[in-house]
Amino acid sequence: MTAPASAPQAPDTSTGPYLQVNDLRVQFPTEDGVVKAVDGVSFSVERGRTLGIVGESGSGKSVTSLTIMGLHNTKRARISGEILVGGRNVVGMSEEQTRRLRGRDMSMIFQDPLSALHPYYKVGAQIAEAYKIHHSNASKSECRKRAIDMLGRVGIPQPARRADQYPHEFSGGMRQRAMIAMALVNDPDLLIADEPTTALDVTVQAQILDLLEDLQREFNSAIIMITHDLGVVAQVADEVLVMYGGRAVEFGTTEQVMRRPQHPYTWGLLASVPSLHGDADADLVPIKGNPPSLINLPSGCAFHPRCRYAGRNGDLSFTEVPELRQVQERGHLVACHLSEADRKRFYAEDIAPSAGVAQ
Amino acid sequence: MIRFLTRRILVGVMTLIVISVIVFGLFFAVPSSPAKVMCGKNCDAASIAAVERRLEIDQPIVEQYTKFMKGIFVGRTYAPGSDFEVRCDAPCLGFSFRNSEPVTDILKRTIPVTLSIVAGAAVLWLLIGVSLGMISALRKGTLFDKIAIGVSLVGASMQVFFFGLILLFLLVYTTGLLPFPSYTPITEDPVAWATGLILPWVTLGFLNSAIYARLSRAQMLETLSEDYVRTARAKGLPLRRVYTKHALRAAITPIVTIAGLDIGASLGGTFITETIFGLRGLGKETVEAVGFLNLPIVVATVLLAAVFIVVANLIVDVLYAVIDPRVRLS
């Protein structure tokens, strides 16, 4: 795969996944040492599909998405591996080349729409600007019309009037809709949503997720949904990637990961979600300890200091980094030293009775 | 917008009224009577009383204040009907105790000097300081940034009387590149006006631009880490446009505030600069008047400085509302 020399023209993207990430590593050299924010992560997303990336803060999920968008300072971050967006490798691409992809072929919505929208410019103007930059031939009124169109499509009433308002005049949910309108104004093939519902009221969260699903059907785009909320993942994702300490620890369809999780970290995530069906008085089981320092990852399996099953398989947990390996079920990958039989037994005995979400 | 404006203007007027009352109180707060100062050393009670009558300071305070304020707007006549009857046209601020020159004339003579100094210096410090700070922020960590910050640290820690005198020594006395600073009205000869004021401009401009460079750099760095700057990049905007349209507009807002207040305050008098370069501006006039207990001048200049600051505040408020749409509501 060679990067196209000129502005990336759309190569053949009719087959295979639209986004393919191969062995991505992102490191930031600092005075205290090298921060290994992402350490050998691979995944792919097809058009019309949604990949959920789950993990605690500092697990590398946001860094991964910013790297795909090329929003890191390439002088400060050391990036290796491959990120194929519609067949074009973004890693090593010049700023100007990635800039042309940003907003047109791939776009992003952020956690807090109030701070992500510019407070001094009208909402309509901000959306029109996103359109104009990739359609230099479009006239000012065309761009504005397109912006109003998009505001209407994301369910904002009276879009022509709202386009002339400022972000602070919008409610939280409306703001995120406007943000989505801005991200989709150029019909991107890939949409990265970085915790799009975290800053919103619970009642609005479901509306936004529904909207994203509707728009995905309409635009047939690939979506990466980054979240720490397993409820969100259960609702919208087709596949789930669980990240811990900059590495992928479990991957599978939403059904596989939510109903038959095999990694103790995933169990921990599930057990810390309240269940509507279980015992109402049962305490939530948090994952003990804190996420590891990305400068000084624990030896062996990075999760071992917090894992109650560490050491059940000799010293492996402490000495050897577990590889992401296929379990019996097709497409389900887990990076854990426990034997599959043990994992199934521990899950059935310890976790399943009290876990939330998928029960 | 109109409601916002009227409210701000009303607040400004109220502030000025309060300040005028306080300043007027100066007449009575000073330990010695103005009449004694005017009358000289060997003065008997009768002549002091005569002076008091002439200045109309033998009347009740409230009446004096009303006459004073009335004088500003419609003019007044001192000691009407007596031998000393003097007409003082609006805006009347009284007469200098020293040579009976109308205070208004003194202001007319000194304001253009200070105004010229501040205007030129402000252009310099805003242009140089702000652009230096912005470029430093965009090139954070580079040699340019380090030099700019180093120089501005030196500038920010220097004093006008030190830096100004060095410039004076180097550029005027040693090399003769510039004439000794002097004031020529711009209407008479713009070239002489500019050459005569270059030194005070550079002195005041350089020292202030150091402060503005540091301020703008910090503001710009903070803005660059804002989410909406990341959004602008995620849209696919070229970096230049991200910086100029999205980051600069937000970073410049607090600088406008501080610049407005700084300029307003400087217009009240740049005493040290005026003194070093021998320019008779508002600041020098005020300080001299304080030394001679020349109260009418002190009251007038202090009041004028207050007007400058209040007006500068008003302009800043309006500019703020123009720049930041969120302000308009509150």
pLDDT digits (tens, 9 = 90+) for B16-29: 999 888 888 876 76
Distance CA B127, CA B213 (A): 10
The overall average pLDDT reported for chain B is 87
Comparing alpha-carbon positions, the chain A residue that sits nearest to B251 is A120
Contact call for A99 and B226, based on CB within 8 A: no
Radius of gyration of chain A (CA): 21
Establish whether the linkage from the previous residue to B91 is cis, with ω within 30° of 0.
yes
The answer to whether the beta carbons of residues A167 and A117 sit under 8 Å apart is yes
Comparing alpha-carbon positions, the chain B residue that sits nearest to A179 is B231
Enumerate residues 6+ apart whose C-beta is below 8 A from B231: A110, A116, A117, A118, A179, A182
Which residues does B contribute to its contact with A (CB < 8 Å)?
226-228, 230-239, 241, 246, 249-250, 323-326, 329
pLDDT at B131 over 60: yes
Quick check: A97 contacting B, CB < 8 Å?
A: no
The answer to whether the beta carbons of residues B79 and B95 sit under 8 Å apart is no
Residue type, position A221, single letter: S
Which residues on neighbouring strands pair with residue A239, listed in sequence order?
A: A51, A253
pLDDT at A5 over 60: no
pLDDT at B189 over 70: yes
* CB contact burial B183-219 (16+ within 10 A = b; e otherwise): bbebeeeeeebeebbbbbbbbbbbbbbbbbbbbbbeb
Residue B114's region, left for phi above 0, alpha for psi from -120 to 50, else beta, is alpha
pLDDT at A354: 65
Enumerate residues 6+ apart whose C-beta is below 8 A from B137: B145, B216, B217, B218, B219, B220, B221, B224, B251
H or E element at residue B34: helix B34-39
Contact call for A168 and B325, based on CB within 8 A: yes
pLDDT at A355: 56
Lowest mean pLDDT among A131-140, A174-183, B73-82, B259-268: B73-82
Distance CA B265, CA B268 (A): 5
Distance CA A347, CA A9 (A): 48
pLDDT at A100 over 80: yes
Comparing alpha-carbon positions, the chain A residue that sits nearest to B238 is A99
Q: Beta A239-244 vs B86-88: how paired, if at all?
A: unpaired
Contact call for B227 and A100, based on CB within 8 A: no
Contact call for B236 and A102, based on CB within 8 A: yes
Of B233, B236, B329, the CB nearest to A134: B236
Where does A195-303 show beta strands of DSSP type E? 222-227, 239-244, 247-253
Residue A73 C-beta-side C-alpha neighbours within 13 Å: 9
Alpha-carbon distances of A105 from A65, A116, A222, B253, rounded to whole Å = 14, 20, 11, 34
Quick check: A120 contacting B, CB < 8 Å?
A: yes
**pLDDT cut 90: percent of chain A above it:** 54
pLDDT at B290: 86
Residue from A65, A99, A122 whose CB has the most chain B CBs within 10 Å, to mutate: A99
What separation, in Å, do the N-terminal and C-terminal C-alpha atoms of chain A show?
44
Structure ipTM: 0.86
* DSSP code per residue over A287-318: PPS-PPPSSSPPSSSTTGGG-TTTTTTTTHHH
pLDDT at A13: 47
| Residue-wise pLDDT tens digits, B28-45 | 766 667 777 777 667 788
The dihedral of CA A200, A205, A207, A208: what is its sign?
A: positive
The values of phi and psi at residue A28, to 5°, are -120, 110
Distance CA A79, CA B118 (A): 51
Distance CA A300, CA A292 (A): 13
pLDDT at A353 over 80: no
At residue B328 the predicted structure's pLDDT band, cuts being 50, 70 and 90, is: low
pLDDT at B329: 54
Of B231, B234, B325, the CB nearest to A120: B325
Contact call for A102 and B235, based on CB within 8 A: yes
At residue B141 the predicted structure's pLDDT band, cuts being 50, 70 and 90, is: confident
Quick check: A69 contacting B, CB < 8 Å?
A: yes
The overall average pLDDT reported for chain A is 87
Contact call for A130 and B236, based on CB within 8 A: yes
Contact call for A102 and B250, based on CB within 8 A: no
Q: Beta-carbon neighbour count of residue A281 at 10 Å?
A: 5
Distance CA A270, CA A355 (A): 6
Distance CA A235, CA A54 (A): 13
Contact call for A116 and B228, based on CB within 8 A: yes
The answer to whether the beta carbons of residues A54 and A248 sit under 8 Å apart is no
Distance CA B36, CA B56 (A): 14
Distance CA B249, CA B261 (A): 19
| B236 vs A contacts (CB less than 8 Å) | 99-104, 130, 133-134
Which residues on neighbouring strands pair with residue B86, listed in sequence order?
A: B78
Distance CA B74, CA B218 (A): 49
At residue B80 the predicted structure's pLDDT band, cuts being 50, 70 and 90, is: confident
The answer to whether the beta carbons of residues A45 and A19 sit under 8 Å apart is yes
The answer to whether the beta carbons of residues B65 and B54 sit under 8 Å apart is no
Of B235, B241, B323, the CB nearest to A120: B323
Comparing alpha-carbon positions, the chain A residue that sits nearest to B227 is A116
pLDDT at A359: 41
Alpha-carbon distances of B220 from A166, B128, B151, B228, B259, rounded to whole Å = 22, 15, 19, 13, 16
Q: In the structure encoding, which two tokens stand for residue A283, read together?
A: 């305490």
Alpha-carbon distances of A8 from A3, A93, A102, B181, rounded to whole Å = 8, 10, 12, 61
Residue from B226, B228, B256, B327 whose CB has the most chain A CBs within 10 Å, to mutate: B228
| Residue-wise pLDDT tens digits, B242-269 | 999 999 989 998 999 899 999 999 998 7
Quick check: A67 contacting B, CB < 8 Å?
A: no
Cα of A333 to nearest chain B Cα, Å = 32
Residue A112 C-beta-side C-alpha neighbours within 13 Å: 9
pTM of the model: 0.82
pLDDT at A64 over 90: yes
Quick check: A164 contacting B, CB < 8 Å?
A: no
At residue A279 the predicted structure's pLDDT band, cuts being 50, 70 and 90, is: low
Q: Count contacts between A and B (CB, < 8 Å).
A: 72
At residue A3 the predicted structure's pLDDT band, cuts being 50, 70 and 90, is: very low
For residues A66-70, average pLDDT: 92
pLDDT at A186: 93
Of A101, A107, A119, the CB nearest to B326: A119
Which residues on neighbouring strands pair with residue A225, listed in sequence order?
A: A52, A193
Q: Beta A325-326 vs A333-334: how paired, if at all?
A: antiparallel
Cα of A134 to nearest chain B Cα, Å = 8
Q: Beta A78-85 vs A19-30: how paired, if at all?
A: antiparallel
Distance CA B47, CA B97 (A): 15
Distance CA A203, CA A211 (A): 13
Comparing alpha-carbon positions, the chain A residue that sits nearest to B233 is A71
| B324 vs A contacts (CB less than 8 Å) | 119-120
| Residue-wise pLDDT tens digits, A227-240 | 988 888 998 999 99
pLDDT at A286: 78
Cα of A107 to nearest chain B Cα, Å = 6
| A99 vs B contacts (CB less than 8 Å) | 233, 236-238
pLDDT at B203: 92
| A170 vs B contacts (CB less than 8 Å) | none
DSSP state of A349: I
| B234 vs A contacts (CB less than 8 Å) | 69, 71, 102-103, 107-108, 110, 183
pLDDT at A242: 95
Distance CA B246, CA B253 (A): 12
| Residue-wise pLDDT tens digits, B209-223 | 999 999 999 999 999
At residue A41 the predicted structure's pLDDT band, cuts being 50, 70 and 90, is: very high
From the centroid of its chain, how far is CA A214? Answer: 18
| A168 vs B contacts (CB less than 8 Å) | 325-326, 329
More confidently predicted of A246 and B48 = A246
pLDDT at B75 over 90: no
Cα of A72 to nearest chain B Cα, Å = 10
| A135 vs B contacts (CB less than 8 Å) | none
Distance CA A324, CA A334 (A): 5
Q: Output B221-225 pairs: Cβ under 8 A, ≥24 positions apart.
A: B221/B137, B221/B140, B222/B251, B223/B247, B223/B250, B223/B251, B224/B137, B224/B138
pLDDT at A14 over 60: no
Comparing alpha-carbon positions, the chain B residue that sits nearest to A70 is B234
